[in-house]
Amino acid sequence: MADPTLALHAPGAEPQRSPAIALSAQPECYCPVCMHAASPEIVENFYSYSLRECPDCRLQFWEPRQMPDARWYSAMYGERDSRILPLEPGHNFFLRDALAPRGGRLLDVGCGTGNFLIAATDAGYSVSGIELDPAAASFAAEHCPPGQVFSVPLETFRSQHPNEMFDVVTFFEVLEHQADPAAFLREIRSCLRPRGFIALSVPNRQRWQTSMDALDYPPNHFLRWNPQSLQIAMTAHRFSVLSIECETPTVAYTAQQINSRLRTGLSRTLAPELPNWFRDEMQEDPEQKAKRNGVRPSLRSRAVEFLGRAKHAACFPIALAATPYVRWRRFAGSYLYCLARRLD
């Protein structure tokens, strides 16, 4: 039986946070989804950012919020641009969702290198995609079935193609990145035909974690969602929610959490030249990051990285034994999926 101490957070509980400051000295700010005044309490501080929470819809959001440009995405995610990645859980939720339409024109916002565009084409959709990273968009356009891939922000796409309307708009692992989610959802709505569908996934902030996810910090993620805040956001923007599902923890996810719990900092001691933890790396200038990506790692760095991968692999047998316990406790996995329909 797995060690119960690995289950640091009970189902539905919030992950442990940095010590909160009792009251914010900042001016009053408003929820970027429902526009209600945020709580004056600061949940967490990170560099120049402060994490706030809306007492009405329970969305957590960072202040300030300014989305990075395409250079930043290329520098941070450029290594993905050479291959078709496996489908994400949100993709699979949609493809097997009995309430989702089984065809029509589909626009995938944040299509990456096109893995979902290929799967959606095979499922009977006529697909188009939008991707901010120019290299990923180019790769998708080259390797995906016939369709259009645009390397522009959504609002630019709408201004350039005002008459393009879709039966389905999908945006998996995109909404958490938005500086202005209300404006984003309005643009999404304007792409849809009457009674059209949207499907999305976001990281579930109520997921089981043994440490905070390094990706879950600005300027990568500006918003932290849970089922309640997602439901309220959809309703506020005149969508009828058809289904919301929380991912069940997989063996791989459980292994990741065990590996995070066993982090000691030894790698950084043995090889100080290794890149910063990703949440700190995100604060760097994208040109510096891109330049460092092109430098061949030293033999010592490669050895330490190999040991890190070996440690992660060693967590899988433990995870295999622990996963039934994790599921029995009904801990949530990483992804939160939603299917909704436009109200007119």
pLDDT surpassing 50 at residue 267: yes
In a domain, 311, yes or no: yes
Residue 239 has, within 13 A of its CA and on its CB side, a CA count of 29
Q: Nearest Cα to 199, choosing from 58, 278, 96?
A: 96
The answer to whether residue 306 scores a pLDDT higher than 90 is no
pLDDT digits (tens, 9 = 90+) for 144-159: 766 689 998 999 999 9
Least confident segment among 125-129, 201-205, 222-226, 267-271: 267-271
pLDDT at 289: 67
pLDDT at position 74 over 80: no
pLDDT value of residue 76: 74
Can you give the pLDDT at residue 30? 92
209 with 295: CB under 8 angstroms?
A: no
How many distinct structural domains can be found in the chain? 1
Check pLDDT > 50 for residue 135. yes
Distance CA 280, CA 297 (A): 19
> Confidence band (pLDDT; 50, 70, 90) for 4?
very low
Distance CA 111, CA 137 (A): 8
CA 135 – CA 156 distance, rounded (Å): 18
**Residue 64: cis peptide before it, omega within 30 degrees of 0:** yes
Within a domain: 269: yes
d(CA 21, CA 25): 10
| Tens digits of residue pLDDT in 21-34 | 444 445 578 999 98
Average pLDDT over residues 283-305: 73
Q: Assign 271 a pLDDT band (cuts: 50, 70, 90).
A: low
**Could you give the count of Cα atoms lying within 13 Å of 22 in the half-sphere of its Cβ?**
0
| pLDDT of amino acid 204 | 96
| Contact between 88 and 201 (Cβ < 8 Å) | yes
Given this model, what pLDDT does residue 307 score? 85
In single-letter form, the type of residue at position 311 comes to K
Task: Tell me the residue range of the domain where 322 lies.
Answer: 252-328
What value does the CA radius of gyration of the chain take, rounded to a whole number of Å? 20
In a domain, 128, yes or no: no
Q: In sequence order, what DSSP letters do the residues of 62-88 get, joined into one string? A: EES-----HHHHHHHHGGGGGSPPPPP
Q: Starting at the edge strand that comes first in sequence, how are the strands of the sheet with 335-342 ordered?
A: 148-150, 125-130, 104-109, 166-172, 192-203, 335-342, 239-246
Model confidence over 178-234: pLDDT tens digits? 999 999 999 999 999 999 999 999 999 999 998 888 889 999 999 999 999 999 999
Residue whose token pair is 């995609």: 129
Q: Is residue 292 very low, low, confident or very high in pLDDT (cuts 50, 70, 90)?
A: low
pLDDT surpasses 60 at 19: no
Q: How far apart are CA 106 and CA 124, in angstroms?
A: 10
pLDDT tens across 85-121, in order? Answer: 889 999 999 999 999 999 999 999 999 899 999 999 9
Question: How much is the pLDDT for 18?
Answer: 43
| 92: in domain | no
